Chain A
Amino acid sequence: MRDLMALTERGDIISLAGGLPDTSSFPAESFAAIMGSVAVDSTARSLQYGPTEGLTVLKSCIAEVMAEEGTTIDPEEVLVTTGGQQVIDLVCKTLIDPGDVIIAEAPTYPGAVPTFCSYQAEIIQIGLDEDGMRIDELERTLERLDREGRRPKFIYTVPTFQNPAGTTMSLPRRRRLVEVIRARELLVLEDNPYGLLRYEGDPLPTLYALEGGDFVIYLGTFSKILSPGVRLGWSVGPRPVLEKMNIGKQASDLCSSSLTQLFVAAYFDSGRWQDYVHSLKEIYRRRRDVMLDSLAECLGPECGWTHPQGGLFIWVTLPDYIDTTDLLALALDERVAFVPGRAAFVDGRGASSMRLNFSGVGEADIREGVRRIGEVVQEQVELYETLTGTQRIVEPAAEPAPAEPDAALADVLQLPAPLRRNHPGAREG
């Protein structure tokens, strides 16, 4: 699959496979002015090493970002990192011995999987639905591990606008998760890159805020609210863990870039960061809506997808006879790309799903990309029907009643019913 993914970067392809924020709307003159002020006001400092835990000026900005989401922290407690990805790495470095268990969501952030694997962790994935990680399934898994005399080192979750599923953990589930980890004294790594990119609905408290920071290691990043190019993320969490992560970071890279830390601090000083996030949200909301409308228009009723209230991704699930890794070959012929669902699982699940990104491409390309995906899916659906002699049910008679998840389907991602709004029904050709 890695070889196929390399092809998605070809210039002539509409790639809905990336996870890139749109950096094109950042005003060039502001960029130049801020860089100029850093160069003039902090010449020596920006060219120098900094403390491993990060510059104090940046930590205040981080406290400001977290306060925007209703999470209060002491800036002194922050560990500045080289992107959010380094937090995942440092948590593993601190906690994981080969064979240790990490619990993650199913699907999980594809970029975390290689990190977990490189520390030889065993990854156990817990299903999620439109309310986020299934805490009942988590509890059953923890009980099973208890019986086996095992204990996960931490639970990894992206509770808000999950990558790749786009779903958000509900408040009751957040509360229950906090109860579970407090009762069991288990650590959670809360990965929250997208929390401020909410396009609808009310903000939810972070797990860190709900729990108080005794058992939650929080991961934040400037990548999605400002720039992935500055390579700056951060962590707050239980002090003993953060201290070990600090030692791990010293060994990895001594400190994150002073230059970009000062750049971000100067940018925050200019007082416009909330306006910029607001403008990004406007762009992304429109792109999400275009993608949702295009999906409703171009995919048949046998397909389902999530309706993210924020973030960058939509998770699409096709009929189980379509393997999205193979479909990608056909899609690349039509010059469109997505991430096959298998990348988000460690056990071969996810074969019929795909992740689509709506932040990194313009509205016209989203429309055209989804149209092309719709075409190749339609081609496969028709071929399957020909092969099996079945006919597609054009419009289900009634909305299926919400049912308890079938135990036999526990390993299948539960998704909201396919959107049928604006669906053209029986399509021609």
Chain B
Amino acid sequence: MARVLAMTRVAVLKGGRSLERQVSLKSGARVQDALVRLGHDVVGIDVGHDLVRRLRDAAPEVAFVALHGRDGEDGTVQELLEALAIPYTGSGVSACIRCSDKVIAKNHMLDAGIPTPDFFAFNETAFKELGAADALPAIEERLGFPLVVKPAGQGSALGIKFAVAAKDVPGALVAAFSYGDKVLLERHVRGRDLAVSVLDGEVLPVVEALPTDEAFYDFEARYEIGRTQFVCPAELPEQLTARAQKLALAVWDVLGCRGFARIDLMLGEESGELTVLEANAIPGMTETSLLPLAADAAGIGFDALIARIVDLARL
């Protein structure tokens, strides 16, 4: 595996058709600026039907994948880059597949003994063909209320709903199925919202997301500027920080991540226990994103972070 040297021709893949297109365009633009400052020869590609042709024309030595959501984060683009033999940043195909599907990721965590909130996952067929709706009362009893309903495949807060009572569950499922054909119902963990980023197998300081309006907390709040504050390093007892980082690293290993990733965890308010919600194979690189924030707290500036990630690009 060749180490990538300076003055490299880098294609930044961004945008695309996913629902997270706008975030990706922001991540991509910021990455491009950094790469230019680092002295690379940079070409930005808004991913579309002509992706393969444009990659062939550009003939980059490395592809920086700054895509989020469907196609970019689920292994599709990575598979294509493998086929074209272009080394790319971040995780490989199989890790992308494992991370981008919350259900697959959580099952891997369960198998490895990594704590993750109790859940049940179904595709639409289960409800349409197998009468899964009849099992909802039993599921609700086991998970308790409120419970969280999420699309399995979405990276952002899109489609995530709280159901506070049984009557909310069908509507929440309908909403979640808008984003894909697999959803999960998950026990709601009330507590502190933590993120641990990993760079080349090394954990970075823990970030805590603090909603500014304590009285009304929801998932969307963390994605709205001004409604959430981020603290890094999170104010946690030393052993909890160590435990969170250890769990993140365990997830990194189990899912087979490469380059960089971000692991989201909850610190249960009542239990005091840490549980892992999900892993993001391509975390955001915007001005307000958590991985750059954590890297900065570890003394790695944005340009240095990008240089490192490009350096770790592989086939």
Residues of A within 8 A of B (CB): 2-4, 6-7, 10, 320-323, 326-327, 329-330, 332, 380, 383-384, 386-389
Shortest C-beta distance, B177 to chain A (Å), equals 6
- Whether the pair A384, B178 counts as a contact (CB closer than 8 A) is no
Q: Which residues of B contact A7 (CB under 8 A)?
A: 17, 19, 21-22
Which residues of chain A have C-beta atoms less than 8 A from B177's C-beta? 380, 383
B267 at the interface (CB under 8 A from A): no
CB 8 Å contact bits of B167-187 with A (1 = contact, 0 = none): 001110111111100000000
> Across the interface, which residues of A come within 8 angstroms of B7, CB to CB?
none
Interface positions, chain B 146-188, Cβ under 8 Å from A, are 158-159, 169-171, 173-179
A10-B17, A387-B127 known; A3-B23 Cβ under 8 A:
yes
User: B133 within 8 Å of A by Cβ?
Assistant: yes
Chain A residue nearest to B23 (CB atoms) is: A3
State how many angstroms separate the Cβ of B186 from the closest Cβ of chain A: 17
For the complex, is B53 an interface residue (Cβ under 8 Å from A)? no
A386 pairs with B19, CB closer than 8 A: no
CA distance A389 to B169 in the complex (A): 13
Complex interface: chain B residues within 8 A of A383 (CB): 124, 127-128, 173-174, 177
User: Is the Cβ of B173 less than 8 Å from the Cβ of A387?
Assistant: yes
Known: A6-B21, A321-B170, A387-B170. A329 touches B127 (CB 8 A): no
Interface centre among B133, B158, B170, B173 (most CB of A within 10 A): B170
Residues of B within 8 A of A332 (CB): 19
Q: Tell me whether A389 and B133 are in contact in the complex, defined as CB-CB below 8 angstroms, given that A3-B23, A6-B21, A332-B19 are known contacts.
A: yes
Query: Do B171 and A386 have beta carbons less than 8 Å apart?
Result: no
CB of B200 within 8 Å of the partner chain = no
Q: Known contacts A6-B21, A383-B124, A383-B127: does B171 contact A321 (CB below 8 Å)? A: yes
Q: Which of B17, B21, B133, B178 contacts A327 (CB 8 A)?
A: B178
Minimum distance in angstroms from B166 CB to a CB of chain A: 10
Contact residues in A for B170 (Cβ distance below 8 Å): 321, 384, 387-388
Once the chains are docked, how many angstroms separate the CA of A320 from the CA of B168? 11
CB-CB < 8 A to A10: which residues of B? 17
Alpha-carbon distance A396/B21, docked complex (angstroms) = 43
- Offer 16 A-B interface pairs, CB within 8 angstroms, sorted by A: A3-B23, A7-B22, A321-B174, A323-B171, A326-B175, A326-B178, A329-B158, A329-B159, A380-B177, A383-B128, A384-B170, A386-B127, A386-B128, A387-B169, A387-B170, A388-B170
Contacts of B124 in A (CB 8 A): 383
Distance between Cα atoms of A259 and B219 in the complex (Å): 49
Of the candidates A3, A322, A389, which one forms a contact with B174 in the assembled complex, judged by CB atoms under 8 Å apart? A322
Q: Contact between A326 and B127 (Cβ–Cβ < 8 Å)?
A: no
Structural contact, A3 and B127, CB atoms closer than 8 A:
no
Q: In the complex, what distance in Å separates the CA atom of A117 from the CA atom of B171?
A: 30
Q: Give B contacts to A, CB under 8 Å.
A: 17, 19-23, 124, 127-128, 133, 136, 158-159, 169-171, 173-179
Q: Would A380 and B174 count as touching, CB distance under 8 A?
A: yes
Q: How far apart are the CA atoms of A335 and B104 in the complex, in Å? A: 29
Docked Cα-Cα span, A332 to B178, in Å, equals 10
Are A4 and B133 in touch, CB under 8 angstroms?
no
Asked whether B133 lies within 8 Å of A386 as measured between CB atoms, the reply is yes
Would A384 and B127 count as touching, CB distance under 8 A?
Answer: no
Query: Which of B17, B128, B159 makes the CB contact (< 8 A) with A326?
Result: B159
Q: How far is the CB of A335 from chain B (nearest CB, A)?
A: 10
How long is the Cα–Cα vector from A7 to B136 in the complex, in angstroms?
34
Kindly list 4 other residue pairs between chains A and B, CB separation below 8 angstroms, not including A3-B19, A332-B19.
A3-B23, A326-B159, A384-B171, A387-B169
Question: Complex Cα distance A389/B131, Å?
Answer: 10
Asked, given contacts A387-B133, A387-B136, whether A380 binds B128 with beta carbons under 8 Å apart, the answer is no
Which residue of chain B is the closest to A385 with respect to CB atoms?
B170
- CA A380 to CA B22, docked complex, whole Å: 26
* A322→B176 CA distance, assembly (Å): 11
Give the Cβ gap from B145 to chain A, nearest Cβ, in Å: 17
Nearest-CB distance from A425 to chain B (Å)?
22
- Set of chain A residues within 8 Å of B22, measured between Cβ atoms: 2-3, 6-7
- CB neighbours of B174 from chain A (8 A): 321-323, 326, 380, 383-384, 387
Query: Are the CB atoms of A329 and B128 closer together than 8 Å?
Result: no
Tell me, rounded to whole Å, the shortest Cβ–Cβ distance linking A339 to chain B.
16
Chain B residue with Cβ nearest A321: B171
User: In the complex, which residues of chain B have a beta carbon less than 8 angstroms from the beta carbon of A323?
Assistant: 171, 174-175
CB pair B133 A329 closer than 8 Å: no
Tell me the complex Cα distance, A321–B158, Å: 17
Q: How far is the CB of A406 from chain B (nearest CB, A)?
A: 19
Residues on the B chain within 8 Å of A321, using CB? 170-171, 174
A330 touches B21 (CB 8 A): no
Chain B nearest Cβ from A429, distance in angstroms: 13
The answer for the CA separation of A429 and B177 in the assembled complex, in Å, is 19
Give min CB distance, A15 to chain B, whole Å. Answer: 15
In the bound complex, residues from chain B placing their C-beta under 8 Å from that of A384 are 170-171, 174
